[in-house]
């Protein structure tokens, strides 16, 4: 059976729903802000509310696996239900787990999130390449086979990332630029867009010294609580802005648990992003 690649499905979702990606980040402070207990019941109420409020309107959800894993197996079970419910409603799911290892361990991580037989199967997975890009091969191979995608940490928004990602190799190219080049090679000849994307922070300012035109999606955290705005996107991403998937988490989630308020906030961000990237 032919599987439609993630890049194709993502492009269609972005074109029909807009590119907004909403995080599902049930950290303790946000649960308290919603008036929910910091336990499994609160976790389930939170994730179910976000999915029910937004699954029919946003293109992508990005659950942060750590906030579910901290509750052990019961928390992972809640994550499984959230992923299944979101995908059943037609929303793509990018699992933010930032996995990275070598050999059979990397293959096991890939199987957990990229094998359609897994209860945690997601449309895409965030991965860390800092054991060497080649260490991601098991995930790359399984993603191609299953029609899933990857988002590789390339130029992240956290200040600490620069000491690795802006480090210069012997060939004069930075580590971040090297990761972007690997991804461009993975996406070569893909139409309408490749399935292998990069994580590039929306807070980083002028990135014109980097070639972000990788023919793949650019997951862009940093809008909202971290200080970036939709209006910043063209200046940061240049001609690659059409492939940007802007991620907003706290900026939307702080309006819960009121479903209408969550929807209104997501709609405002979506409208601002549409205006910025189509101007």
Spatial separation of the C-alpha atoms in residues 109 and 115, rounded to whole Å? 10
* Spatial contact of 110 and 126, defined as CB atoms under 8 Å apart: no
Q: Where does residue 61 fall: left (phi above 0), alpha (psi -120 to 50 degrees), or beta otherwise?
A: beta
Spell 110-145 as b/e; 16+ CB within 10 A means b.
Answer: bbbbbeeeeebbbbbbbbbbeeebebbebbbebbbe
Contact 7/192 with Cβ under 8 angstroms? yes
- 62, 74, 98, 239: which is the annotated catalytic residue? 98
Burial class (CB in 10 A: 0-12, 13-18, 19+), 149: buried
Give CA–CA dist 24/21, Å, rounded.
10
C-alpha triplet 194, 140, 188: angle, nearest 5°:
30
Active site residue 62: no
Distance CA 9, CA 5 (A): 6
Helix (H/G/I), strand (E/B), else coil: 64: strand
Q: Which two tokens stand for residue 26?
A: 């049930």
Of all helices (H) and strands (E), which one includes residue 97?
Answer: strand 92-99
List active site positions.
98
């Amino acid at each position: 059976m032919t599987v439609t690649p993630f890049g194709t499905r993502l492009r269609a979702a972005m074109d029909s729903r807009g590119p907004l990606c909403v995080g599902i980040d049930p950290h303790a402070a946000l649960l308290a802000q919603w008036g929910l207990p910091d336990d499994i019941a609160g976790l389930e109420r939170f994730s179910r509310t976000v999915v029910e409020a937004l699954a029919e309107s946003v293109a992508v959800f990005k659950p942060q696996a750590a906030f579910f894993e901290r509750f052990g197996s019961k928390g992972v079970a809640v994550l499984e239900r959230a992923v299944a419910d979101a995908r059943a409603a037609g929303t793509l799911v990018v699992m933010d787990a930032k996995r990275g290892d070598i050999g059979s361990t990397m293959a096991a991580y890939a199987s957990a999130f990229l094998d359609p037989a897994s209860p945690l199967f997601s449309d895409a997975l965030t991965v860390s390449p800092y054991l060497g890009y080649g260490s991601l091969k098991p995930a790359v191979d399984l993603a191609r086979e299953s029609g899933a995608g990857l988002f590789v940490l390339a130029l992240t928004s956290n200040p600490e990332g620069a000491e690795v990602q802006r480090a210069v190799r012997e060939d004069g190219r930075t580590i971040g630029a090297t990761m972007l080049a690997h991804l461009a090679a993975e996406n070569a000849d893909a139409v309408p867009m490749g399935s292998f994307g990069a994580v590039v922070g929306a807070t980083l300012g002028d990135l014109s010294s980097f070639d972000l035109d990788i023919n793949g999606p650019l997951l862009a955290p940093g809008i909202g609580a971290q200080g970036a705005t939709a209006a910043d996107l063209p200046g940061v991403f240049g001609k690659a802005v059409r492939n940007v998937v802007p991620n907003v988490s706290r900026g939307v989630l702080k309006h819960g648990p009121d479903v209408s308020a969550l929807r209104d906030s997501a709609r405002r961000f979506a409208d601002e992003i549409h205006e910025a990237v189509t101007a």
